[in-house]
């Protein structure tokens, strides 16, 4: 009895060992077969993870680059503004006006109205008195007038009918009163009917109205209209009133004229002494 039980026990032990060996062999075979699948799965999951990380990093990088790009654009825009202002200042850096005691360089602040390009607000109004009309010069040519009202300096350009000043026409210096029409033309009225003026004649400021210095170029006559008691000349202007950036403002005419006369006399006396 005991011997049969022992034999049975040994049999089951041997059978278990055989089964374990077969299972281990099966597991080894299964592991070898499934190894490529596991490798592919691992590569796939790693690829997804890398793509996710890459996308997140790219998104963060894009946001950072956008911020930097906006900042750089602001810097570039500021630099462009500075360059334009320097170029404009250089264009207006005329010895003729900068050395003139009664000439003030002013800058446009803004248009008075968004739908009206013929009137602007100007800087340095605090340096001027009210109840006076001032002449505006742009690149050596007449560009308009300025009036200070309620502590604000307002520029009225040649394109505005309110802009009026005295002029001389042609070699004979025929007098007339200029009045704004549009951005390219003005009309000069009250020209004596017997005056001989021609198309192509140069129009200059007279300086007789104490608004402009004399002999500042205004434009050229393009048409002449004879009316009942006087003539009117249509004049194509030289000024670029659509780009009103900087102007030279004539503070006073008569006083500066006297100063110029004194300077001329001094130059003459100095020349005589040298001789």
Percentage of the chain beyond pLDDT 70 is 60
Q: Compute the distance between CA of residue 216 and CA of residue 162 in angstroms, rounded to an integer.
A: 19
**Same domain (yes/no): 75, 190:** no
- Same domain (yes/no): 149, 218: yes
At residue 259, the pLDDT reads 40
Structural domains in the chain (count): 2
* 184 against 56, higher pLDDT: 184
Kindly state whether residues 204 and 247 are assigned to the same domain. Answer: yes
**Parent domain of 242:** 97-252
Residues whose CB is less than 8 angstroms from the CB of residue 96 and which lie 6 or more positions away in sequence, other chains included = 140
Residues 185, 78 share a domain:
no
Mean pLDDT of 118-123: 94
What is the pLDDT averaged over residues 246-261? 65
> Of 91, 125, 159, which residue is a domain's last?
91
Per-residue pLDDT tens digits for 8-25: 666 556 555 555 555 555
136 and 73 within one domain: no
Q: Tell me, yes or no, whether 54 lies in a domain.
A: yes
pLDDT of the residue at 56: 66
Tell me, yes or no, whether 117 and 204 share the same domain: yes
Residues 113, 243 within the same domain: yes
| One domain, residues 124 and 202 | yes
- Min mean pLDDT across 23-27, 52-56, 127-131, 141-145 is at 23-27
pLDDT digits (tens, 9 = 90+) for 150-176: 889 999 999 999 999 999 999 999 999
- Quickly state the pLDDT bin for 254 (edges 50, 70, 90): low
Please say if the pLDDT value at position 256 is more than 50: no
| Mean pLDDT calculated for residue range 79-90 | 58
Q: pLDDT band for position 62 (50/70/90)?
A: confident
225 and 119 in one domain?
yes
74/205 same-domain check: no
**CA separation (Å) from 102 to 97, 179, 248?**
9, 25, 10
21 falls within a domain:
no
User: What is the CATH number for 150?
Assistant: 2.40.10.350
Please give the average per-residue pLDDT across 207-230, as a whole number: 93
| Predicted pLDDT at 110 | 92
Rounded CA separation 185/65 (Å): 50
User: Which pLDDT value is given to residue 16?
Assistant: 59
> Do 79 and 143 belong to one domain?
no
pTM beyond cutoff 0.75: no
Same domain for 142 and 182, yes or no, is: yes
Q: Are 240 and 158 in contact (CB under 8 A)?
A: no
What is the helix (H) or strand (E) element at residue 49, kind and residue range? helix 2-91
Question: Is residue 30 in a domain?
Answer: no
On whether residue 271 sits in a domain, the answer given is no
Return phi, psi of residue 54, to 5°.
Answer: -65, -45
Mean pLDDT of the chain: 77
31/226: higher pLDDT: 226
The verdict on residue 36 lying in a domain is no
């Amino acid at each position: 009895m005991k011997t049969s039980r022992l034999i049975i026990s040994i049999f089951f032990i041997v059978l278990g060992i055989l089964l374990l060996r077969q299972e281990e062999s099966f597991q080894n075979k299964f592991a070898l077969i499934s190894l490529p699948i596991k490798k592919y799965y691992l590569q796939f999951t790693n690829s997804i993870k890398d793509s996710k990380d890459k996308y997140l990093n790219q998104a963060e990088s894009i946001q950072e680059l956008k911020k930097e790009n906006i900042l750089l654009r602001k810097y570039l825009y500021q630099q462009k503004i500075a360059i334009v202002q320097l170029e404009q200042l250089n264009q207006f850096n005329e010895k003729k006006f900068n050395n003139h005691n009664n000439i003030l360089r002013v800058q446009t602040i803004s248009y008075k109205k968004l739908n009206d390009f013929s009137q602007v607000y100007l800087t340095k109004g605090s340096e001027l008195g009210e109840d006076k009309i001032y002449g505006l010069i742009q690149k050596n040519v007449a560009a308009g007038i300025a009036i200070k009202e309620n502590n604000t300096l307002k520029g009225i350009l040649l394109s505005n009918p309110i802009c009026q000043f005295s002029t001389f026409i042609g070699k004979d210096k025929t007098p007339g009163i200029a009045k704004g029409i549009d951005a390219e033309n003005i009309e000069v009225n009250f020209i004596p009917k017997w005056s001989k003026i021609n198309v192509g004649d140069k129009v200059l400021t007279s300086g007789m109205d104490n608004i402009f210095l004399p002999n500042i170029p205004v434009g050229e006559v393009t048409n002449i209209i004879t009316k009942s008691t006087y003539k009117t000349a249509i004049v194509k202007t030289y000024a670029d009133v659509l780009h009103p950036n900087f102007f030279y403002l004539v503070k006073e005419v008569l006083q500066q004229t006297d100063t110029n006369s004194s300077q001329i006399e001094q130059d003459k006396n100095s020349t005589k002494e040298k001789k």
